Amino acid sequence: MNGQHRSTPWPGEAVAGAGRIRGARRSDAEAQIEPTKSAQEPARPAVPERVDAPPPVRFWRIGDPGRSFTEVQPLLGDALDAPDTILDGGQVGPFSVYAASVRGLSHRQAGTPRQDAYGVGVSKDGRWLVVTVADGVSAGRHSHRAAQLVARHATRRVGRMMDGRDEAPSRTEWYELFEELSRLILGTGAQKLKLPQNEVAAAMATTATIVLCPTGAEDGQRRVQVAWLGDSPAWIIEPDRTWSCLTAVKGAGSEVSSSAVVALPQLPEDPAMLSVREELVPVQAVLLAMSDGVGDPLGDGTGQVAAALAQAWSGPPASALDFALQVGFGRKSFDDDRTVVGVWDPEGSLP
């Protein structure tokens, strides 16, 4: 349940047992030496033992979090549209997988839905892990629904497609999948949301990044494939805690940054223009798919945010709650929705 941000600690509650302590029985002679007490004098209550309350949850800050990080008054939205925060953590195949999607400060303040979504699955034969991250384009009033559709459908569809296969999909197969996702969005907008056909693309636009990772390793590496449309990046944290981008670093090589995004249901006409990359990833590396709410402050993977996250995620988090707290870190001027899915190999974590 959403609640107001607090900048002061939560009050603790001391709890003590009410057991009665009995002393040794004294002799009559000893009792006569002590002053007598009035029979009407009430017994003094035992002083309960002080029990320290657990430390309060602290906000996770990286550098200057900005005033809005502690001063935004969240407005509850419709939980049927999208809950404020969703999180998961546990074993998927051989991997430790943690995922969290947190509503950004801008949407919390306005009471509008979280537009990010994620999906995690494994093929029926257990040989392929599938991770999807989708980020609804902010201008689309139903883009959160498009992101949810893509995260769910793409993850299941790729899992079924890879069951019993040895090789990753071709670029043509990926393009056909993205065409299927495009039709799903257009059909849902027109049939279920009753949107005019010419308005669906603007109202239900979303990025899509799909990561396909074999559960088996060969010579200490896995051949990971990523297919994406839009600016939701996939990264790895190398064994030496440096970052390597598997997709594209936003704004790299450009003197002028741009917020324009090519997103579903739009597709490049030529299948060769769909972004697909295959990379050998060491088993000690951490595999991460994320929305640009984390990708933007991460930048090129060399700054303060990158160093803090590499240290925090050098091994699996203590819990999904801890991971969600870290995904929602405070950083001045960054107030978008935050989504990250992290994959840790059981064969070892970073030193």
Instruction: Specify whether the backbone of 71 is left (phi greater than 0), alpha (psi in -120 to 50) or beta.
Output: alpha
The pLDDT tens digits for 298-318 are 999 999 999 999 999 999 999
| Contacts of range 198-201, beta carbons closer than 8 Å, 24 or more positions apart | 200/265, 201/265, 201/266
Give the percent of the chain with pLDDT over 90.
71
pTM here is: 0.82
Phi, psi of 102 (to 5 degrees): -120, 130
Give Cα separations from 158 to 167, 213, 342 (angstroms).
Answer: 13, 11, 19
The pLDDT tens digits for 218-229 are 999 999 999 999
Instruction: Name residue 257's beta-bridge partners.
Output: none
- Give the pair of three-digit tokens for residue 89: 């953590």
- Give the pair of three-digit tokens for residue 248: 């594209």
pLDDT of residue 254: 47
Residue 77 pLDDT class (50, 70, 90 cuts) = confident
pLDDT of residue 132: 98
70 or 156, which is more confident?
Answer: 156
Apex 118 CA angle, 321 and 121, nearest 5 = 95
The predicted model gives 57-68 an average pLDDT of 87
Burial class (CB in 10 A: 0-12, 13-18, 19+), 111: middle
pLDDT of residue 20: 32
Give Cα separations from 168 to 32, 124, 212 (angstroms).
Answer: 93, 15, 8
From CA 202, how far away is CA 207, in angstroms rounded?
Answer: 13
Residue 79 pLDDT class (50, 70, 90 cuts) = confident
Q: How many angstroms separate the first and last alpha carbons of the chain?
A: 37
pLDDT of residue 1: 41
- Give the pair of three-digit tokens for residue 262: 């090519």
The predicted model gives 153-163 an average pLDDT of 98
The pLDDT tens digits for 93-130 are 899 999 999 999 999 999 999 999 999 999 999 999 99
pLDDT of residue 5: 37
Secondary element (H or E) of residue 237: strand 234-237
Burial class (CB in 10 A: 0-12, 13-18, 19+), 142: buried
Average per-residue pLDDT in the chain?
85
**Domain positions in the chain:** 68-344
From CA 89, how far away is CA 107, in angstroms rounded?
Answer: 25
Q: What is the distance of C-alpha 188 from the center of its chain?
A: 26
From CA 245, how far away is CA 222, in angstroms rounded?
Answer: 16
Instruction: Name residue 212's beta-bridge partners.
Output: 130, 225
What fold, for 68-344?
Phosphatase 2c; domain 1 (3.60.40)
The pLDDT tens digits for 22-48 are 333 443 433 333 444 444 555 665 655
Give the lowest-confidence range in 68-77, 163-172, 287-296: 68-77
Q: What is the distance of C-alpha 280 from the center of its chain?
A: 24
Whether the predicted pLDDT of 8 surpasses 90: no
